[in-house]
Chains A and B, each alone.
Chain A
Amino acid sequence: MARLIIQSPADVRLLDSGMSVGEALAAFNAAHPQAGGVATFLGKVRPDEDVRVLELTHYEPLTLPGMQQLADKALQRWPLDGVLMWHRVGVMHPGESIVLVVAAARHRRDAFHAVDFLMDYLKSAAWFWKREKRPDGWHWIEPRAQDFADRNRWV
């Protein structure tokens, strides 16, 4: 297997097929040898008996640059060694990974905060559109008030 090269300080990717979480974490950890802690969040398609598949669409000119700007905000706000943000697009099944967010820092609290912050913004402000296929057809997912409330904790 080719060795995974992690960009530092921010490794931001859109993936159209499955992500290898273990490999990503190992490479990210190796890329930040000075970190005292690495916090990780893995978001998955929530198993729900009515949901057959989930489809995430994006808009290339906005989505990836927006994620990179978001990573930069986290790097400015907390003393981090680095962050990793990988997001799936396309069709996913329940139980599959959608998003992997990782932060490395000298001290754990900064890493925890950065991951929490990045997830709140990814959920409410990144350029993704989501729809679910249920037995009666496709349904677009609307933003939830809770997603905006979560994001506003950081203002």
Chain B
Amino acid sequence: MAVRVLFLGSLRDSADAPEADYPAPLDWQGLLAAVPAAVAEQLREPHVHVACAGKVLSDKADLAAQDGDEVALLPPVSGG
């Protein structure tokens, strides 16, 4: 099993894919190492948020995704 990571908005283009599966467990450093370099670079920006299991993390560095969790990488929203 694995952690499914979703690339939302423009991160989909940076990742060249809508999603990817990485081995569990997955923490912040593990995430930065796993995703494509262009995504990792944007993830370090303060305005890019991370959600795990349906909750937005107040601090991305606290990521602790377990087997079966879905992690969403959230670039700035662009308005309805």
Closest residue to A120 on the B side, CB-wise? B79
* Residues of chain A at interface, number, CB under 8 A: 25
Contact B72 A129 (CB under 8 A): no
| Given A57-B9, A59-B72, CB of A129 within 8 Å of CB of B77 | yes
B76 within 8 A of A: yes
B46 within 8 A of A: no
Nearest chain A CB to B17's CB is how many angstroms away?
14
A141 within 8 A of B: yes
B8 within 8 A of A: yes
Contact B80 A61 (CB under 8 A): no
Closest residue to B70 on the A side, CB-wise? A61
| Given A62-B51, A62-B56, CB of A127 within 8 Å of CB of B77 | yes
Contact B72 A123 (CB under 8 A): no
Q: Which 8 A/B pairs are nearest by Cβ-Cβ distance? A: A129-B9, A61-B54, A123-B79, A141-B78, A130-B78, A140-B10, A122-B80, A99-B80
What are 27 inter-chain pairs, A to B, with CB distance below 8 A?
A56-B80, A57-B8, A57-B9, A59-B6, A59-B72, A59-B74, A61-B51, A61-B54, A61-B70, A62-B51, A62-B54, A62-B56, A62-B74, A99-B80, A122-B80, A123-B80, A124-B79, A128-B78, A129-B10, A130-B78, A130-B79, A131-B10, A140-B78, A141-B79, A143-B78, A144-B79, A147-B79
